[in-house]
């Protein structure tokens, strides 16, 4: 953790990047099963034991009933587009950058699930996006039990 002397210019002392800490998050009971599923290229959600809502990505607790949601259910690779946005910005926990290319970001509800998640929409163009359109999952080339196993979703029947 050396101090960066090069960064000292005039009166301004920049202490950028001095603190570097690595974080490793345990995925927990429900998400562990979910990533087991993605390695086999399928979606596994959980179902609330009281109201029967299905969550994908799964969680072991229903917020509305505060009841356990520990029953795992298999879900298909097809989905509906609930909402979308087109953004040139790529923001990660380290930097926010405006790129040259637009990304199509969709809020996608997998059929049979009551929750939705954000993912990229692939193999289509901006003007063809529409709420309620049918999508299917595109798996990444290399599957490794990681959130990025889901490369994105594409329109059913191609663009």
Partner 1 sequence: MCAKVQPAVISAGFCEHASKRSDVNMAELVNEAVEDTITKAGIEWKDIDCVINGNMPAFEGANIPELWMTDHMASKNKPFLRVTTGGTTGGSVTIAGYYAIASGMYETVLAIGFEQQSCGDTSMGLASVALGEFSIMPELGYEYNKIVSNMGAGAAIGIASYQAMSYMRRSRATEEDLARVVVQNRRNAAKNWYTHLKMPTVTIEDVLDTPYISFPLRYGMVCPATDGACAMLFTTEEKARQIADIPVYVNGVGSYSNESAVLAADCAGAGQVDPSEQLGAMKSAEVAYGQAGISFPNKEIDYAEVYAPFPNQELMWVERVGLFEENTAAEAYEQGITALNGELPINCSGGVNSTNAIGASAMERPAEAALQIMGKAGNQVPKTVHTALGHGWGGAVNLITHLVMSDEPQRKFKGGR
Partner 2 sequence: MERIGIVGYHQVRPELDLQMSPYECIFTAVRGALDHAGLKRKDITTVISATNDYYDGKTISNCFKVSAGGAYMKDESKVEMDGAHAAQYAMFRILSQNHKLAMVYGFSMPSCMPFECTRILELDPTFDRPISLMNSYSTCGMQMRAYMKKYGVSEEQIAEATATNWKNAAKNPLALQEAQKADMTAAEVLKSDYLASPLRELMYPLLGDGCTALILAPEKQALKITDNPVWITGVGNCQETYYFGERDLTTSLSMEKASEAAYKMAGVKPSDIDVAELFGYTACEDIILAESAGLAEKGKGDSLVAKGCLNPSGGATSGMTPCATGLNRIIEAVKQLKGEAEEHQVSGVKKAIASGQIGFCAQNNIIYVLEGGN
Q: Among partner 1, partner 2, none, what does residue 12 contact (CB within 5–8 Å per kind)?
A: none
Smallest separation (angstroms) from partner 1 to the CB of 140: 23
User: Site size for partner 1, by CB under 8 A?
Assistant: 28
Smallest separation (angstroms) from partner 1 to the CB of 65: 9
Among 43, 44, 45, 119, binds partner 2 (CB under 8 A): 119
Contact 56, 43 (CB under 8 A): yes
- 17 binds partner 2 per the rule CB under 8 A: no
One character per residue 18-37, x = contact with partner 2 (rule: CB under 8 A) = -x---x-x-xx--x------
Among 6, 40, 66, 95, binds partner 2 (CB under 8 A): 95
- 62 binds partner 1 per the rule CB under 8 A: yes
One character per residue 59-88, x = contact with partner 2 (rule: CB under 8 A) = ----x------------------xxxxxxx
| DSSP result, the chain | ----GGGEETTEE--TT----------HHHHHHHHHHHHTT-EEEEE-TTT--EESS--SB-TTT--B--EEEEE-SEEEEEEEEEEEEEE-SS-EEEEEEEEEEEEEEETT-S--EEEEB-SS-GGG--TT-EEEEEE-SS--SSGGGEEEEEETT--
Contact 32, 39 (CB under 8 A): no
Among 48, 69, 75, 116, binds partner 2 (CB under 8 A): 116
- 18 binds partner 1 per the rule CB under 8 A: yes
């Amino acid at each position: 953790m050396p101090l960066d002397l090069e960064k000292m210019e005039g009166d301004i002392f920049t202490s950028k990047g001095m603190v570097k800490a690595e974080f490793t998050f345990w995925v927990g009971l429900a998400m562990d099963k979910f990533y087991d599923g993605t390695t086999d290229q399928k979606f596994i959600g959980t179902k609330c034991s009281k109201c029967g809502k299905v969550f994908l990505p799964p969680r072991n607790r229903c917020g509305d009933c505060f009841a356990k949601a520990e029953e795992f259910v298999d879900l298909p690779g097809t989905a509906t587009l609930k909402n979308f946005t087109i953004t040139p910005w790529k923001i990660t926990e380290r930097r926010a950058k405006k790129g040259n290319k637009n990304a199509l970001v969709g809020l996608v509800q997998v059929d049979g699930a009551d929750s939705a998640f954000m993912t990229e929409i692939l193999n289509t163009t901006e003007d063809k996006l529409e709420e309620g359109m049918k999508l299917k999952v595109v798996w990444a080339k290399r599957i490794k039990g990681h959130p990025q196993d889901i490369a994105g979703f594409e329109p059913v029947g191609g663009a």
